[in-house]
Amino acid sequence: MEIVQTVLSISLISSALAVVVVIADRFLNDYGECVIDINGGNRQMTVNGGSTLLSALAANRIFIPSACGGKATCGLCTVQVASDVGPVLPTEEPYLSEEQVNEGVRLSCQIKIKHDLEIHIPEELFNIEQYQARIEKITDLTHDIKEFRFALEEPAELAFKPGQYVQIDSKPYGSVTESVSRAYSISSVPSDKGFVDLIIRLVPNGICTTFMHEHVKEGDTITLRGPFGDFYLRDGADDLVFIAGGSGLAPIKSLVFDILEQGLEKNMTFFFGAVTKKDLYYVELFQDLEKRYPNFRYIPALSNPAPEDAWQGDVGLITDVVAKYVETPVNKQAYLCGSPGMINACINVLTGIGLTEDEVFYDKFT
Ligand SMILES: Cc1cc2nc3c(=O)[nH]c(=O)nc-3n(C[C@H](O)[C@H](O)[C@H](O)COP(=O)(O)OP(=O)(O)OC[C@H]3O[C@@H](n4cnc5c(N)ncnc54)[C@H](O)[C@@H]3O)c2cc1C
Ligand code: FES
């Protein structure tokens, strides 16, 4: 009992101190106006000190990639900071390599603006726009995956490379009082001008996915930003291996359809891993492609098919199925999308077959 009381007292004192620090910081530390110099004077902006670098840039319509909304859990919001902003924080450490730290790369959501700053960001980030998009259609793909078709309203077109993603903003609902921003890969092709399709899997208790699955309807308007990301087709190989699980099918669908539409001379094998038949979707779509295009092969595999599935296809972990079919690394590239665990396991298999790490491209859905 005494131990419980001591622990409770310490927690209460720590919480009270944290609140005092936040309030004191807000009222005592008036950082005034600060100038952010971007890319050696290419652009300059004046912002009120005290906010994070990520939010100050967003307020000035410079959208740095961010899939966790500033909670230091995605590691995507990196920016090279030339000014002294103090040591790397423990929240940043897991996401920065030694090389990045030496180059001054930091997580912009963790950097608080206290004085003038000089930063460097890739020029293509200036092309990222914020869009208002109307939900045109919602389709149930599986028991926990829905597809959303958005009609872009303002601006009316989004130029992207197949494989890239957008960020969408949820709105407060029920007991959720905050709006969060999350990353979703585009599943449609660039030629489908004026529209963007997203495939979203419901994460139990997930803020944004619950919003999208349970609190939006056709006709609603959503804010999205993009395009982001470096998961897109590279030159250099004729044989492409695509591997996806769950909603990781989204960017692969965009890549495959775009390659076929462009008539590129690529041989493609698409491995899709699921647990049971109820987790499979777009099977007919890809089987139909297989019939129409001799250079496209579709291999769905179930890791644990239910007896009622009467599954005739491949059974096993997707890593085993990939190892069974991919024999040589020659002239190959691999594109992987899904959970970090699945991607790490597939990278091991592919490098074991002989692909080098720079022949394997991926987007981890963290
Ligand atoms: C580049 C990129 C592209 C992405 N593209 C897609 C996409 O096309 N389709 C898609 O459905 N998702 C995609 N994601 C994942 C997406 O951004 C969100 O992380 C996910 O939808 C959960 O958001 P949430 O707000 O509902 O959950 P949160 O409120 O962020 O999380 C709630 C809880 O669930 C856990 N959690 C978060 N994500 C997952 C997960 N995937 N599985 C299990 N537990 C989880 C968290 O740790 C937390 O405990 C992508 C992520 C990245 C980085
Ligand atoms: S926004 Fe996710 S780590 Fe900074």
- Out of 125, 154, 176, a domain closes at 125
pLDDT-based confidence at residue 215 (cuts at 50, 70, 90): very high
Q: Which ligand is nearest to the CA of 342?
A: 1
CATH number at residue 157: 2.40.30.10
pLDDT-based confidence at residue 178 (cuts at 50, 70, 90): confident
Task: Give the residue numbers spanning the domain of 282.
Answer: 239-364
Query: How is the beta sheet containing 145-154 ordered, strand by strand?
Result: 181-185, 165-169, 221-228, 129-140, 145-154, 195-201
> In percent, how much of the chain has pLDDT > 90?
83
- Out of 125, 144, 161, a domain closes at 125
Centre of ligand 1 from the C-alpha of residue 207, in Å: 9
Note whether 118 and 136 are same-domain residues: no
Would you say residue 10 lies in a domain?
A: no
pLDDT digits (tens, 9 = 90+) for 320-331: 999 999 988 999
pLDDT-based confidence at residue 276 (cuts at 50, 70, 90): very high
Would you say residue 134 lies in a domain?
A: yes
Those residues with Cβ within 8 angstroms of residue 340's Cβ, 6 or more apart along the chain or in another chain = 364, 365, 366
Q: Cis omega before residue 227 (within 30°)?
A: yes
Centre of ligand 1 from the C-alpha of residue 7, in Å: 33
Q: Which ligand is nearest to the CA of 108?
A: 2
Q: Which ligand is nearest to the CA of 209?
A: 1
Centre of ligand 1 from the C-alpha of residue 42, in Å: 35
Note whether 177 and 119 are same-domain residues: no
What's the confidence (pLDDT) of residue 18? 57
Highest averaged pLDDT of the listed ranges 14-23, 63-72, 121-130, 219-228? 219-228
Query: Average pLDDT in the 266-291 region?
Result: 97
Closest alpha carbon to 322 in 360, 291, 284, 287 = 360
What's the confidence (pLDDT) of residue 70? 87
CATH number at residue 290: 3.40.50.80
- Angle (CA) 256-257-261 rounded to 5° is 120
Query: Average pLDDT in the 114-139 region?
Result: 95
76 pocket-lining for ligand 2 (C-beta < 6 Å): yes
From 147, 184, 363, give the residue whose CB has the most ligand 1 atoms within 8 Å, as the site to mutate: 184
The mean pLDDT of the chain is: 92
What's the confidence (pLDDT) of residue 165? 96
360 pocket-lining for ligand 1 (C-beta < 6 Å): no
Those residues with Cβ within 8 angstroms of residue 139's Cβ, 6 or more apart along the chain or in another chain = 146, 147, 149
Residue 104: half-sphere exposure toward Cβ, Cα within 13 Å? 11
Note whether 142 and 89 are same-domain residues: no
Position 253 pLDDT exceeds 70: yes
What's the confidence (pLDDT) of residue 124? 87
Would you say residue 9 lies in a domain?
A: no
Domains in the chain: how many in total? Answer: 3
Note whether 49 and 105 are same-domain residues: yes
What's the confidence (pLDDT) of residue 14? 60
Note whether 248 and 342 are same-domain residues: yes
- Out of 209, 228, 247, a domain closes at 228
Query: Average pLDDT in the 68-88 region?
Result: 92
What's the confidence (pLDDT) of residue 297? 97
Tell me which of 27-36, 255-264, 279-288 is least confident: 27-36
Note whether 356 and 257 are same-domain residues: yes
Strands 129-140 and 195-201: unpaired
Q: What is the pTM of this model?
A: 0.88
What's the confidence (pLDDT) of residue 8? 54
Query: Average pLDDT in the 128-133 region?
Result: 96
Position 196 pLDDT exceeds 80: yes
350 pocket-lining for ligand 2 (C-beta < 6 Å): no
CATH number at residue 82: 3.10.20.30
Query: Average pLDDT in the 338-354 region?
Result: 95
74 pocket-lining for ligand 2 (C-beta < 6 Å): yes
Position 219 pLDDT exceeds 60: yes
